[in-house]
Structures are given as C-alpha cells and as structure tokens.
Amino acid sequence: MEFTLLIIIIVLALIFDYINGFHDAANAIATVVATKVLSPFQAVLWAAFFNFLAYWVFGFGVADTVAKTASTMDINLVVILAGVIAAICWNLLTWWLGIPSSSSHTLIGGFAGAAIAHAGFGVVTWFKEGKDGGLPSGVLIVIAFIVLAPLLGALISYLISIWLLNSSKKSIYPKIFTLSIMAVTVWFVEKQMKYFADIEKPRFPSSEFWSVALEAHNIKWLLVAFIILSISTFCLVFSSLNIHQANSWLKKFQLLSSAAFSLGHGGNDSQKVMGIIAAAVAVYIHTSGVAQESLPDWLNVILPNDDKGIKGAMPSWIPLACYSAIAAGTLSGGWKIVKTMGSKITKVSSFEGVAAETAGALTLYFTEHLKIPVSTTHTITGSIIGVGLTKRVSAVRWGVTVSLLWAWVLTIPISALLAAITYYILSIFL
C-alpha cells in the first residue's frame, strides 16, 4: 500500500509539474509575443527549450528547501498526496480563470496545509536560522518573498530602464557608468566562481578548463555576467543608433532576456517538484520500515542535513523527469494568462520586454542561489510594473494589478485549506 501511494505521488507530482509549465508559460513568453518578436508557437518552443536546459545549470538548493517544508519524520504519504492534489486543483482553477497565481506557493501551501491537518502547526518548518550567518529558511521566509520577489523585480527593472534611457543620450556620463557596471560585474562574478580545486565532482576530471566552465554553479554566474555585459555593450553604442536600429537591437535582446528568464523559470519551479518527490521517498522510508540500503537505486534519495553533516543525493531520473515535464507543459502554452501578462498590466514594447525579463531572470538567479523558492509569476509581474513606472505611475493598470495581488495573498491559505480538506477525505479511505 505504501509503495503504491509513493508511485501515485510521483506521477501526480510530475502532472503538477506539467501543469506548472503551461500555467507559467506566460511568464517567459508574454512580452516576446506581445511585441511580435516571436509567434506564439515559436515563443513556447523557445521557452520550453531553455526550461529543459536549466537541468544542467542549477543545483538542488530550492528542492531541499521545499522538501523541508514539514518534518518528514512526523507525516505520512497521505499528507503529501493531499498537498499535491490540492495544488493541482488550485493551479487548474486559476489557469481556467486566467489568473497568474503562483504555482510555487500553491505547492508549498498545499504541503503545509495537509501537514498541519495531520499533526498540527508544530510539524511545519516556519522559521529556521541560517547556518554560519546565512539566510534563514522556512515557510515564513517563503511568505515574505511573496512581497519581496515582485518588489525586487520591480526595482531591478526600473533601474535597468533608467540605465537604458540615459544611455540613449549623447553624453559621456552614461558611458562611464556603463563601464563601471562592466568592471563591477566581472569582479563580482569572478569572486563567485568555483575553480578546479574547489569542485568535489568535476564533470571532466581530465580537463580543468571544461570542468570549471561547465560546473553548474559557474554556468549560472557566467550567464549573469553574459546578460549584464551584453546589455552594457548595447548601452555603450545606444546613443549612436537611430530609432529603427535601436528597436532592431532590442528585439534581438528580447530573445536573450526571455531565454534567461526561461532558464530561471525551469531551474526554480522544477526544483519544487523534486523537493516534493524527495520528501515523499523520505516519508516512505520512515513509514514503511524499509532500510535505506535495501532501496533500489532509482529510489535512493537522501535529504541533506547540515546539522549532521549529511549531504543530499538524488537519482538523476528525478531532475530529468521534472525538467522534461515542465518543458512539455510550457510547450502546451497558457494563452489566457499570456493576455494578462503581455497587455493588461501595462503596454509592453521591446524596450520594456528586455528590461522586465532581464530583471526577472536576475532576480530568479539570485534567489535560487539563496535557496529561496520564489514565484516566477510574482517576479515577472513586479518587473513589468517596474518598467511601467518609468513612463508614469498611471501607465500601470493598477486595477488589474490589485486583483493579481489578492490572488497572490490568498494562494497559500486557500491551497492550505483545500489540502487540509483533501487530507481529511483521503484519511477516511486510506
């Protein structure tokens, strides 16, 4: 019975991942479709490809955070099953209504709600201090980023927009500022890099260069450098371009920025499903009494434990399946939400598209680095608002935005309540 429940949870988690893909496809493709840089079909192909490519770029920090939403020693598989079912139901409802709610918070809310119904509020990891002065974790931190992620996206997109606008002027000062940005970026990224001696399992033991260049941690920071340096290069020549040339360049940059955001979307959202599957395996081991050593290789999941010095492990099929599912979902598209994201919040041109997607991508990369599961929906919405504010406050359609905010605030409590009800119903039969 326990093993059957585990398989059902894994299948439903991958279905949720697929739904997450088409629910959140709009986040990555709305602006390129709105500005007609790509057709809708080309846009979903583009986004899906980079969703899947994220498999080689990101680690499992966010997956670890999600897996520890509730203590796996104090729950059972029915809890996780109820959480996943509730998350699927809420995601489908918001997709049907065209509301760009957070799939991330739906999943975490569902997991937490079912766990509370099973064992009370104490089973949920509400707040945990960071190790060695690091960033704290827990559900309260995730809730805080409901506000912080869109604010960070809005701030970064606003600053990028101001930077681009000033670079279009024939003045030496914007160029000096741009060169400073380039120098700081190179210095910062170089400090973040892992070199051969620091890599525990080099991908190419016989080649130091390729091991360093293709280390997942390094690829992410090299992408950050590439994005910022590419925009910086454009800023240096922006003032010498006419309107047609500038618009042509910006449309090309939209391909880069949407690709970068799709990478962040795949890396951030797929990891949440990995976390749920990892938690399910950990609960199965605890409740079934099966020894870790006797598990087949394809189920050999080990949750990391910093306090005990235990490093996590996960069979490669789990991330591969999760990234494949979200890419397949993105290919299906989410056209109702595309309309909301691409035109209803503010009018989007190539200029706004580049600023918003770049800001969204950078926000996702940094939060993933900090192991915080944020909402890609919240992040890109905040970024679109940020570029709208550079024109005037009234350029943002605040009526639509306020409706979205209500959906964001209500997602976790409604998902939690729905999961609790689902848990009580399932408990009667299981």
Residue bearing the bigger pLDDT, 66 or 29: 66
148 phi/psi in degrees, rounded to 5: -70, -40
Strand pairing partners for 225? none
Q: What is the mean pLDDT of the chain?
A: 83
pLDDT, mean of residues 394-399: 52
Q: What is the share, in percent, of the chain residues with pLDDT greater than 70?
A: 87
CB burial string 1-38: b at 16+ within 10 A, e below: eeeebbeebbebbbebbbbbbbbbbbbbbbbbbbbebb
Integer Cα distance of 268 and 54 in angstroms: 9
Inter-residue long-range contacts of 231-237, CB under 8 Å, 24+ positions, other chains counted: 231/160, 231/164, 231/354, 231/358, 232/178, 232/179, 232/181, 232/182, 232/185, 234/167, 235/163, 235/164, 235/167, 235/174, 235/175, 235/178, 236/167, 236/175, 236/178, 236/179
3-state secondary structure of 27: helix
Judged by average pLDDT, the poorest of 67-71, 287-291, 392-396 is: 392-396
pLDDT number for residue 111:
92
pLDDT, mean of residues 397-410: 66
Q: How confident is the model at residue 340 (pLDDT cuts 50, 70, 90)?
A: very low
58-86, pLDDT tens digit by residue?
877 787 778 878 887 888 999 999 999 99
pLDDT number for residue 306:
63
Type of residue at 276: I
**Structure-token pair, residue 117:** 């119904």
Residue 35 has pLDDT above 90, yes or no: no
Q: What is the pTM of this model?
A: 0.84
Residue 235 has pLDDT above 70, yes or no: yes
Integer Cα distance of 417 and 420 in angstroms: 5
pLDDT number for residue 117:
94
What are the angstrom distances between the C-alpha of 222 and each of 126, 213, 266?
34, 9, 17
Q: How confident is the model at residue 376 (pLDDT cuts 50, 70, 90)?
A: confident
Residue located via tokens 């139901």: 89
247-262, pLDDT tens digit by residue?
888 888 888 888 998 8
Residue bearing the bigger pLDDT, 12 or 384: 12
Residue located via tokens 């986040």: 27
191-227, pLDDT tens digit by residue?
989 888 888 778 778 888 888 888 888 888 999 999 9
3-state secondary structure of 307: coil
Indicate the Cα dihedral angle 152, 28, 51, 68, nearest 10°: 40
Indicate the Cα dihedral angle 94, 97, 100, 104, nearest 10°: 10
pLDDT, mean of residues 413-430: 92
Q: How confident is the model at residue 309 (pLDDT cuts 50, 70, 90)?
A: low
If one counts every other C-beta atom within 10 angstroms of the C-beta of residue 171, the result is 11
pLDDT number for residue 397:
55
Q: How confident is the model at residue 371 (pLDDT cuts 50, 70, 90)?
A: confident
Residue 162 has pLDDT above 80, yes or no: yes
